[in-house]
Structure 1
């Protein structure tokens, strides 16, 4: 489980069957909407956003300097996520993600440009969109993308929404698609003034890691020797010359900033492991140490807030979640945990505001619906309470720890 204490995405992977829809094309407007709607999923599945704005702005500046040389004029976005896995990935229509773990493995700015250029290659070749066109009927994709616009989405549509998201985040590309993304990426970074040999440096790092710990990037981006040779041949054919960017002081400064927070995130992952094993006191000590080492480790603060709220230490839980929210307010996790803590305090109207906001970021999270049901029931809005209990049970398939309570409350309210 990568998402903070929240139930896993309801990926119904077994339901997906390849369907050949021939010439059916997903309109760009829908491609953009689908890609944007899964940004919050990607963030939560990658342990949140890296909270340093300087790091985020730096990667964005490098990414946008390359993106302006791509043929598709899209609303590109670039995110650094907290995961310590060595990975980068993209979503349909523009969003590109790189992990803290991969940034720490890169040696210079041209390598960063190579990674971002490659992901932009996938987007510009419409590899994600072609996957969607092959796997799903176009009308289903319309329904899924409209979920975010609906006032009362049906649980079945939300399940389908989560299913597609799961496959997009774990999408494995073919060798031909990887070759095409490499070729396009080389062209883009060269036009942006970067040394395209940076991508070869990334491949060398991955090959060295492959002997001991296979990078996650290689699990979705296969790297046979022929692929490396193809990139070498492409670069030789282009014959890059002139004053090309190999490295910058800013890249090295950014890497130093990331290294300064490594110990904090090491404590965070130790706490997360203990939490998953239900060793909550040990988990709490690790999370506390994580925020001592790095004040802005907001994900650690959210775990602290959740554990303390469960234990009844509401005042300290509130302080932790308020701090986390002040650091990164526009993500699912800070809004969800804030709403949970407010619910525990009996501040139901305020809890509704936070949980409804969380629901807009990630619309298929069952716990959100359950606690909204509790809030609305406490506020006397029976129809909304019933709706949210029903949706929570459908999304969780009756397997959540609160399922029996939700069933009993739903039965009682429907019999009133």
Structure 2
């Protein structure tokens, strides 16, 4: 009871010490995540977030420069000064997102759907508010509070240490990008984003039309919108009406910047057909139609040879066809145009692995993993380490790759278990004990490894007739298939007294996978 009271008091102290004024809304609220943590979290995860979303758009650098100029114009009038950054992500899905600390991205696909600079300002202003009003930081705090509740329960029950925040690889980046904001956060971002538009000289009414367009598109249920912007920023007529009310309170007029937007985006907009061919080619490759995919990749390249994604698609097709030399040539061309995207190095490394070029494959795979920790690179590097006899390094790489739910993540998990089974068979083969009708000990072995296992040996601890503690080895015959349970008669017994029953214990001490 005293431990529970201490835990509750600790949580109350954290809550009382975490009060602060929101820099945008002026409201008092809890703020357990400090500004330095916001900024460092955003900075650390900005690169991995962009990598997993498609990498930076590089075909026309002037497009990025234009978006940065619009973003900084809005950031200059925001209620909170942060190290704001604005980047165009090279993906066709219409989307935009903000990380804590002011790291903001907008997808190429959304830029191609907007009509003017004021609509771009509406999108970027909305994302600026998410960062300035600490919406991402609040998501982090909700996780901390949840873990705080676990901490209280843990302290109350066993007073054990508890790690409040634990991340690995790019997991936190995925959570930050994909987090869904509540209705209050969306309303705040709409309202204050329009305030920023007006302060920066844009026509805030553009936010009304933009939201109306979003509502119409959401009703059409276009899949690329549903998986993009609408997944994290769901539109509604309520938001349209709220934007209209906000606009009525702001000075009328302001810039739309229609012609400036068209001129600045002209190089990107001119490539619309090329990106459509690329998207269709990528889909054809996923469906296994390499001939159609290749024709579409070649079409995209004819229209825009400077886009590295198009060269990479051609490389992926050749890889699928097991033409690894040709694949490497295409990945070389992609990297020559953009040397900062993990996928190109990953695929070139895997192609070189197939060609037996181990040293260069490792260089590419390590570089890919540095840009974005990813299961395919880690699994392949784990195989290289295993081939070199570095079991410890192989296990580390396989364990990291196994965190992925992908097929290659499952392969890595199995590879890890094969190695770990030698040292820790009990982790995968739990045992339970029972007594038969005659009071003799029966061992039940369960295979939870996901693999077939053989050469299983258990130790059985028991009290002999003289009361001495003894241990014997018990073999489990044959092969134990995955998810199979095996009953083994030990011949130890009869066990009659409570003290003898309490002394019983068993554990698998030896096993190997059957492959």
Same fold (TM over 0.5): yes
The size of the alignment, in residue pairs, is 379
Residue 254 (structure 1) aligned to one of 237, 260, 264? 264
Give the number of the structure whose alpha-carbon radius of gyration is greater. Answer: 2
Offset, 1:55: 1.1
Q: Pick closer, same or farther for the CA change 1:36–1:337 going to 2, 3 Å.
A: farther
Offset, 1:140: 5.5
Partner SS, residue 204 of structure 2:
coil
Match of 1:270 in 2: 280
Matched, 1:209 2:217: yes
Residue 339 (structure 1) aligned to one of 337, 342, 349? 349
CA distance in 2, matches of 1:141, 1:34: 15
Q: Deviations over 1:357-399 (max 9, x none)?
A: 2222222x21111111234455665543443234334545876
Q: What's the RMSD between the two structures over aligned residues?
A: 3.3
Offset, 1:272: 1.9
Residue 56 (structure 2) aligned to one of 41, 46, 49? 49
Q: Within 5 A, what are the aligned runs for 1:214-233?
A: 215-216=225-226, 217-233=229-245
CA distance in 2, matches of 1:239, 1:119: 22
Gaps of 5+ in 2: 1-10, 19-30, 149-161, 424-511
CA distance in 2, matches of 1:366, 1:257: 35
Residue 392 (structure 1) aligned to one of 387, 401, 404? 401
Q: Within 5 A, what are the aligned runs for 1:116-127?
A: 116-127=124-135
User: 2:391, 2:419 within 8 Å by CA — same for their partners in 1?
Assistant: no
Q: Pick closer, same or farther for the CA change 1:341–1:258 going to 2, 3 Å.
A: same
Offset, 1:403: 4.5
Q: Within 5 A, what are the aligned runs for 1:311-350?
A: 311-350=321-360
Gaps of 5+ in 1: 1-18, 145-156
Match of 1:35 in 2: 42
Residue 371 (structure 1) aligned to one of 372, 380, 383? 380
Of 304-313 and 287-296, deviating more is 304-313
Offset, 1:115: 1.0
Identify, as 1 or 2, the structure richer in helix.
1
Partner SS, residue 196 of structure 1:
coil
Identify, as 1 or 2, the structure richer in strand.
2
CA distance in 2, matches of 1:236, 1:27: 35
Offset, 1:310: 4.9
Match of 1:16 in 2: none
User: 1:351, 1:375 within 8 Å by CA — same for their partners in 2?
Assistant: no
User: 2:39, 2:102 within 8 Å by CA — same for their partners in 1?
Assistant: yes
Q: Higher relative contact order by CA 8 Å / sep ≥ 6: 1 or 2?
A: 1
What TM-score do you get using the length of structure 1 for normalisation?
Answer: 0.79
User: 2:82, 2:102 within 8 Å by CA — same for their partners in 1?
Assistant: yes
Match of 1:299 in 2: 309
Residue 76 (structure 1) aligned to one of 71, 76, 84? 84
Q: Within 5 A, what are the aligned runs for 1:7-26?
A: 22=15, 23=18, 25-26=32-33
Residue 94 (structure 1) aligned to one of 70, 90, 102? 102
Partner SS, residue 231 of structure 1:
helix
Q: Pick closer, same or farther for the CA change 1:370–1:140 going to 2, 3 Å.
A: same
CA distance in 2, matches of 1:140, 1:320: 45
Partner SS, residue 140 of structure 2:
helix
CA distance in 2, matches of 1:369, 1:34: 24
Match of 2:152 in 1: none
User: 2:318, 2:326 within 8 Å by CA — same for their partners in 1?
Assistant: yes
Of 261-270 and 300-309, deviating more is 300-309
Q: Pick closer, same or farther for the CA change 1:121–1:405 going to 2, 3 Å.
A: closer
Partner SS, residue 104 of structure 2:
strand
Q: Deviations over 1:209-267 (max 9, x none)?
A: 344245442342233333223323323223246xx322154311233322221222212
Match of 2:500 in 1: none
Residue 166 (structure 2) aligned to one of 139, 143, 167? 143
Of 395-404 and 342-351, deviating more is 395-404
Residue 286 (structure 1) aligned to one of 292, 296, 304? 296
Matched, 1:105 2:113: yes
Offset, 1:355: 2.0
